[in-house]
Amino acid sequence: MTSALVADSLTKRYGRRTALKDCTLDIPAGHVVGLVGPNGAGKSTLLQLACGLLDPTAGRIEVLGTRPVSGSPRVGFVAQDTPVYAGLTVADHLRMGAHLNPSWDAALAEQRIAQVGLDPNQKAGKLSGGQRAQLALTVAAAKRPNLLLLDEPVAALDPLARRTFLQGLMELTAEQGMSIVMSSHLVADLERVCDYLIVLVASQVRVAGDVDDLLATHHRLVGQRRDTVDLGAGRALVEQSHTDVQSTLVVRSTAPIVDPSWQVDQLDLEDIVLAYMSGAAGNGPDRVLEGQR
Ligand SMILES: Nc1ncnc2c1ncn2[C@@H]1O[C@H](COP(=O)(O)OP(=O)(O)OP(=O)(O)O)[C@@H](O)[C@H]1O
């Protein structure tokens, strides 16, 4: 099956500022992909490269098997500031969408507008931030793209609207086979809907993979404080923290960890994301753990 998105040593610089560095990814089609990372990590830059609004400085990116081209009907994109035309009504937006997109799904658009309670005669400039986001999302989804790229789509939505919207996304992938990549800081939401996760930190991909695999291969180890630890082959230390008496590690390992000197616990997705984000910030002690050497 064609990948939804492939990046090979993808790098983007704005002048002297590096926004993405050597990113390598291969996201299979048909997934709802969560893209997380701290502010300034490069999430919007990756999404804009994927929809052809930006060109790479180095490396390669392909979406749905081809180089991204801005305005492709196969790719829908909703930017962070959810752009709408202030002087046009909600209904005008749908008419324009129908006019510009051969695969426009009028029934889906009208049903979503009614479901989220938007007045078709209201000017977009008079909508609230959350209502504007709903309108932009409706227009993007009704294009029936093969890949939908969403930059923080739920940030402006109230909790009920968020839940409805996320359920809608799952239906789009399940019924239409649409691939979705969405950035968000709301990991609990992502945990509910995403089956693939990318963590970007400081312009680089720290981890990417199937959510079930990530959950199965990450472990929290808690035990007596130690200054050096031999994690053994095939294990990677993601994060470490220490008190005077206790060491806590987050470790990635495909094989189960059976060591009575550690209490080994499962992690949820939020724990994993936070471990990669804070592990990258280098908040561990000065000691080098054997598994890292
Ligand atoms: N047009 C631009 N010109 C110069 N630098 C930019 C530009 N756009 C982004 N950057 C820089 O590139 C880096 C990555 O920015 P980007 O917007 O991709 O991050 P992000 O992960 O989406 O952040 P956030 O979560 O805050 O939206 C940041 O250091 C940012 O300052």
ipTM of this model? 0.98
State in Å: Cα 57 to ligand 1 middle.
15
Mean of pLDDT values over 154-161: 82
Long-range contacts of 262-265 (CB under 8 A, 24+ apart): 262/221, 262/222, 262/223, 263/221, 263/222, 263/223, 264/219, 264/220, 264/221, 265/219, 265/220, 265/222
Cα distance between residue 37 and residue 205, in whole Å: 9
Residue 1 pLDDT class (50, 70, 90 cuts)? low
- Classified by CATH at the fold level, domain 3-202 comes out as Rossmann fold (3.40.50)
Residue 14: CB within 6 Å of ligand 1? yes
Whole-prediction pTM value? 0.90
* Ligand 1 closest atom vs CA 42: 18
Give SS3 for 20. strand
Nearest to 262 by CA among 291, 231, 221: 221
State in Å: Cα 253 to ligand 1 middle.
32
Q: Is residue 251 pLDDT above 60, yes or no?
A: yes
